[in-house]
Structures are given as structure tokens and as C-alpha cells.
């Protein structure tokens, strides 16, 4: 695949907002304070000039920022965080201008694993390290083990259960020091999660919710009736638990922005919530989830039962048939479907959407068993893997 310019990732340049939509888009302005009494936003420009803007309605859409580790050596050249487009520019520049044969990734979440795939695709060796001894703790253990073995088979070092103490320069390279382990590389990437950018809301006295995200109602309104919040900075309701949660994913961010626009313009729009549906690819595997894991369901007060099955990505005799693993969780008391996870080398990414819709519809496992899903030999067995999983789970329930 030919290399593309990283600027292709810019969805819409700032000037398009000004020219096409007539929006007074002020770049280079740092909003620092909200005065809800005066209904103004104030701050300072890059040149150091103060500014103050009045509002009738205000939307806070400050997103999330990378969690930065408190590590000695984090500021060394070649140590970079993975979050923003500017981070991507720095990483690409470093790869272009330095001889990078090996990289250490601190973290093993979605973004860290996707970075692992990208680097392996560039023929760069990768070691991954994190303090939690459980690899992908939200995933059913045998499924997580399959993904881990796939990484190891491609030469990736997976070091779970090793807290990082510091990073130090070693000749032309870098060393990541753990109490019982030292890893050496030419570049270190940090991807240990994100946190909501809610400081301006908290300072303004707005209610703060889960994991310090901005608390909003189903109309995306904050504790101030004239202020809304949308995107990764705001919380949401979980469709399974009906409780507040913070799951920063792209679709919710986009959808909540649209909903705020409608509400500000006088159309009453409320959002039901999120199921935490997510999918990513790492090397040969597609990994997907929706709803609650077993432990999450237990913490939420359900009486969860899970069952993991192996099925095929195609009809059993069709060429290229591969294994899909499906883990489904249901509630023993109510029979409700609570969540599902899937792992396979194909056929996973879009298949997770059926259980996601079932969660939004609050279906029972028995009801899901009766859904009329499509069948054709190139795309799956007669009984879709999610139906097989539901049928087997129903027996346990």
C-alpha cells in the first residue's frame, strides 16, 4: 500500500467552516473560563491577548486527552504519546528521521494494540508492557489468550504484569525499566488511556460525573440549562444498566454533537445512551464487544451467566472457513441479554452489531435466539455464530 500524507486524516480544514458554513471559527484561542452569570467565555490567544465572548447557549466539546504517566524519562527524545493528529505527525517524523528497528509500547488497550499492528506492518519489532497482569481483562480469558498467542506468534513481546518505573537513555537507544524486567528499543510509545477534558466545566461549577466527565442529561444539557456538553468530555447513560457511564467512542461523540445542535435550534432531541460497542483489528484478529463483560455485569447487580462457543466464519464446507469465538452474557433472573464479545480473523467487525441492536431493544436471550439473521455460505453457517452462542447460553440460563 502506498504511503499517504498524514494530512489526509484531516476531515475538514478550519477554513472550510468559515467559507462554506459562515462559522466564526477562532483557532489559536484558548478558552480558560466560563462565567455562567454573565454568560461569557474568556481566555487568551496564542499572542497573549485576552478575549471574551458572550453566549446565549454554550456547547463544551473539549474531548479527551491522553493519560500521561508520571515517569522519569518520559520527556526523552523518542518517547511519545499516542492520541492526537499532532502526536501522529511526531511519530511519523521520528520514524522518517531515525533508524527505528524496535519499539516498546507502554499499554495494551485499543490504541496501543492498533499501534502494534501498524509498527509490525512496517517491519518494526514491538514489545508491549503494562502493570495489570491480565491481558485484555474485559475479554473472556480463552479468547484473550487466543489474541495474545497471535501476537506472540508474530514476534510481539507481551509483558503484562510489569509496572514501568522509569525510562532512560542507553547509547543511541532507550531502556524501559521495570522492577523485574528491562526492555530496550529505539522508540517508546505511550498509550495507557484517555481522560475527559472537563477542567473548564468543573471550574465553572458545573456538575461532574463518572471519571470526572461532565454530567449531562439525555438532551446533553449540563447542570446549567444554557450549557451543553458533547463528545468525549461528557458522560452518557448505559442502555443495559441505565446508569451513568463514560465510554469515549467516535459514534457517540458525533451523535451527541448533532443532538446538541438540534436542541439549541429548538428541536427536542434526547439520546437513549450507549452500549459500549467497539471493534478493533490487531494483526490477524478482529476483536469486538458490546454491552457488559461478566465482571461488569456482576458489579452492576445482575446475576450473570456466560457461555463461549466456537463457530465458523462461513459454511463448514466453504473454502476459507475460519473460527469465530463468541462469548455471550445473560442475566439469570430476567433472561436479558447483557453483552457479547467476539474474536476471529474475519466476520467479526459487523457481526457484533446484531447483539448491539438487541441490547438497545432490551431483548432477552430467548428473543435473540428467534431473530431472523441472514445466511449464505460465503458469509456464515446456517446458524449464525451469535445465534449458536445465544442458544447455548439459553440452556445455561
Evaluate whether residue 271 is within a structural domain. no
Evaluate whether residue 161 is within a structural domain. yes
Evaluate whether residue 157 is within a structural domain. yes
Specify the number of domains making up the chain.
3
| CB distance 324 to 344 below 8 Å | yes
Does the pLDDT value for residue 1 go beyond 80?
no
Of 149 and 170, which is predicted with more confidence? 149
pLDDT at residue number 171: 85
CATH number of the domain that 50 lies in? Answer: 3.50.50.60
Evaluate whether residue 272 is within a structural domain. no
Same domain, 230 and 304: no
Same domain, 342 and 302: yes
Tens digits of residue pLDDT in 200-235: 999 999 999 999 999 999 999 999 999 999 999 999
Tens digits of residue pLDDT in 102-149: 999 999 999 999 999 999 999 999 999 999 999 999 999 999 999 999
Evaluate whether residue 153 is within a structural domain. yes
* Cell numbers at 142, concatenated: 480463552
- 3-class secondary structure, 182: strand
Same domain, 36 and 83: no
Same domain, 345 and 296: yes
* Cell numbers at 258, concatenated: 448533532
Distance CA 193, CA 322 (A): 32
Domain stops at, among 264, 291, 307: 264
Same domain, 187 and 102: yes
DSSP string, 249-307: -HHHHHHHHHHHHHHHTT-------B---EEEEETTEEEEEEE--HHHHHHTT--EEEE
Distance CA 253, CA 234 (A): 9
Domain stops at, among 194, 212, 244: 194
| CB distance 42 to 32 below 8 Å | yes
Same domain, 392 and 293: yes
Does the pLDDT value for residue 2 go beyond 70?
no
Average pLDDT, the chain: 95
Same domain, 53 and 105: no
pLDDT at residue number 219: 97
Tens digits of residue pLDDT in 247-306: 999 999 999 999 999 999 999 999 999 999 999 999 999 999 999 999 999 999 999 999
Residues 322, 376, 330: CA angle, nearest 5 degrees = 65
pTM for this predicted structure: 0.92
Same domain, 293 and 370: yes
323-331: strand order across its sheet: 278-282, 285-291, 337-344, 323-331, 304-312
Amino acid at each position: 500500500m502506498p504511503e499517504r500524507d498524514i494530512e489526509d486524516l484531516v476531515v475538514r480544514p478550519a477554513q472550510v467552516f468559515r467559507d462554506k458554513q459562515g462559522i466564526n471559527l477562532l483557532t489559536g484561542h484558548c478558552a480558560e473560563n466560563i462565567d455562567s452569570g454573565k454568560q461569557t467565555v474568556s481566555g487568551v490567544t496564542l499572542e497573549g491577548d485576552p478575549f471574551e465572548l458572550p453566549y446565549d447557549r454554550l456547547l463544551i466539546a473539549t474531548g479527551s486527552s491522553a493519560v500521561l504517566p508520571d515517569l522519569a524519562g518520559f520527556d526523552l527524545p523518542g518517547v511519545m504519546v499516542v492520541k492526537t493528529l499532532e502526536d501522529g505527525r511526531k511519530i511519523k517524523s521520528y520514524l522518517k528521521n531515525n533508524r527505528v528497528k524496535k519499539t516498546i509500547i507502554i499499554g495494551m488497550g485499543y490504541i496501543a494494540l492498533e499501534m502494534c499492528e501498524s509498527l509490525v506492518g512496517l517491519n518494526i519489532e514491538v514489545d508491549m508492557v503494562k502493570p495489570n497482569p491480565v491481558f485484555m481483562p474485559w475479554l473472556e480469558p480463552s479468547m484473550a489468550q487466543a489474541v495474545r498467542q497471535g501476537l506472540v506468534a508474530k514476534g510481539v513481546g507481551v509483558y503484562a504484569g510489569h509496572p514501568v518505573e522509569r525510562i532512560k537513555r542507553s547509547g543511541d537507544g532507550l531502556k524501559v525499566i521495570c522492577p523485574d524486567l528491562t526492555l530496550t528499543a529505539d522508540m517508546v510509545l505511550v498509550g495507557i488511556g484517555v481522560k475527559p477534558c472537563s477542567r473548564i466545566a468543573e471550574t465553572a461549577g458545573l456538575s461532574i460525573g463518572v471519571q470526572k466527565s461532565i454530567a449531562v442529561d439525555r438532551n446533553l444539557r449540563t447542570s446549567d440549562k444554557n450549557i451543553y456538553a458533547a463528545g468525549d468530555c461528557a458522560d452518557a447513560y448505559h442502555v443495559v444498566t441505565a446508569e451513568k457511564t463514560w465510554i469515549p467512542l467516535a459514534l457517540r461523540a458525533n451523535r451527541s454533537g448533532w443532538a446538541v445542535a438540534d436542541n439549541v435550534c429548538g428541536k427536542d432531541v434526547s439520546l437513549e445512551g450507549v452500549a459500549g460497542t467497539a471493534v478493533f483489528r490487531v494483526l490477524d484478529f478482529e476483536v469486538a464487544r458490546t454491552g457488559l463483560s461478566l465482571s461488569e455485569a456482576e458489579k452492576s447487580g445482575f446475576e450473570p451467566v456466560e457461555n463461549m462457543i466456537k463457530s465458523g466464519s462461513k459454511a463448514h464446507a466453504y473454502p476459507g472457513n475460519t473460527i469465530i469465538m463468541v462469548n455471550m452474557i445473560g442475566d439469570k433472573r430476567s433472561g436479558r441479554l447483557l453483552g457479547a464479545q467476539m474474536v476471529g480473523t474475519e466476520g467479526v467487525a459487523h457481526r457484533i452489531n446484531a447483539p448491539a441492536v438487541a441490547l438497545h431493544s432490551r431483548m432477552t436471550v430467548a428473543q435473540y435466539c428467534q431473530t431472523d439473521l441472514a445466511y449464505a455460505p460465503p458469509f456464515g453457517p446456517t446458524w449464525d455464530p451469535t445465534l449458536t452462542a445465544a442458544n447455548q447460553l439459553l440452556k445455561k440460563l
